[in-house]
Amino acid sequence: MADLPPDLFDADWAREAERRAMRDHRRATRANRARRLTRPNRGTLLSMLSLSIAVALVWAGFAFLDGTAPTASAPATAPSSTSTAPLRKHAEVDPTRPFADTPAAMWREGAGGIEPPPAHPVGPYSAEQVGRFMERVRQVIITARLDRTVLETGDASPALALLAPALAEKLRPDLTHGNEKESWHVAARLAEGARLLPVQPRVTGWMTPTVNDEGELAIRTNYLVAYAFDVPDPKKIDGPMDIVAVIRQEIEFRWIDDPKYTADSRGIWFGEVRGFNYSINCAQSEHGFLAPSYDNPPYTGAPATRRSEEYFDPHIPMPTEDGCR
């Protein structure tokens, strides 16, 4: 019986790819695309990534580098709300309504923005099986991105508990202090001293059930979450994006249920993962933490190539621009 399901890619390769990608990214501004999954040897379980810090004005992002991205499936349902509202960068900020004057004002609150589409049969999987898996994925996203305990303490144990036990065990080393940059896809964690306002984050996006190349049931997700932060001196705020930070993540969740694998290897695994952050603290992002752009130094890089509203839109391709340097 196999001990582990097929994993992402070799850790040594990932480390070398990260060094190479960061070097190449500084030399050019070419688009970077997601790497296809491969079947590595047993034990190379962790979903390592090549991290590319990307900022337009005051934002940062990350994306897999090298290789070719698979063609994205059309969403099974439209996002929970649209993202066409204009962004008023210098609007007065009301801490009781921090998302006003941003496109996130039109998104749903908290877990209400993570709504699975109606379940239907996918490949050999029944509508009931698909529905159960989508609900499990929904709980993973809620726990990893919205749970205040996870966000504020940095303890990702509640999120790990929803994954296959073998995967959770292999991920634990990357969740220890100092390794947060390597595990951004597992859970969001606030920087020390960063505090959220007492309002629900806003969420938009979708999930799409499919069968991947290995014949496994997979859920492809594309969600944006906007967080509103408290700041020490509200009088110094120039506009809502000083306190609102946005993360976008395209994550494929794989359901491993083949009896050829041991019991602790069955459950939820990560497939392809890509992410991007907008209007966040660059220095904290370098260490894998989330904080608002309030303390960023003035940006002196190339001008933004997109309208600000586009970074709130899950329909546009994952941004890859660089501007933190």
Question: What pTM was computed for the model?
Answer: 0.77
Per-residue pLDDT at 300: 56
8-40 residue pLDDT tens: 434 443 444 344 434 443 343 333 333 222 222
At 26, list the tokens.
Answer: 């500084």
Identify the residue whose tokens are 């790990």.
Answer: 160
Amino acid code (one letter) for 225? V
- Neighbouring residues of 182: CB distance < 8 A, sequence distance ≥ 6: 46, 48, 49, 174, 288
Per-residue pLDDT at 255: 97
> 247: helix, coil or strand?
strand
- In terms of DSSP bridges, do strands 202-211 and 217-230 run parallel, antiparallel, or are they unpaired? antiparallel
80-100 residue pLDDT tens: 444 457 899 889 999 999 999
* Residue 176: CB atoms within 10 Å: 10
Per-residue pLDDT at 2: 59
186-208 residue pLDDT tens: 999 999 999 999 999 999 999 99
Per-residue pLDDT at 58: 28
Closest CA to 228 of 32, 120, 96: 96
100-150 residue pLDDT tens: 999 999 999 999 999 999 999 999 999 999 999 999 999 999 999 999 999
Per-residue pLDDT at 32: 32
Q: DSSP labels for 200-235? A: --EEEEEEEEEE-TTS-EEEEEEEEEEEEEE-S-GG
Per-residue pLDDT at 6: 56
Closest CA to 174 of 52, 304, 14: 14
Alpha carbon 133 to its chain centroid, in Å, reads 19
Closest CA to 295 of 233, 224, 225, 226: 233
CB 52 within 8 A of CB 261: no
Q: How far apart, in whole angstroms, are the C-alpha atoms of residue 324 and residue 279?
A: 11
Identify the residue whose tokens are 């992410």.
Answer: 275
> 104: helix, coil or strand?
helix
Closest CA to 231 of 57, 106, 98, 91: 98
Question: What b-and-e string marks burial along 92-111, b requiring 16 or more CB atoms within 10 Å of the CB?
Answer: ebeeeebbebbbbbbbbebb
**Is 56's pLDDT higher than 70?**
no
User: Where are the alpha helices (H) located in the chain, listed in sequence order?
Assistant: 11-27, 127-145, 148-153, 157-160, 165-171, 282-286
Per-residue pLDDT at 53: 26
Q: DSSP labels for 283-316? A: HHHHTT-B-BGGGPPPP-SPPPSS-GGGGG-TTS
Q: How far apart, in whole angstroms, are the C-alpha atoms of residue 43 and residue 33?
A: 26
232-258 residue pLDDT tens: 888 889 999 999 999 999 999 999 999
The percent of residues in the chain predicted with pLDDT above 70, rounded, is 71
Element (H, E) at 275: strand 267-278
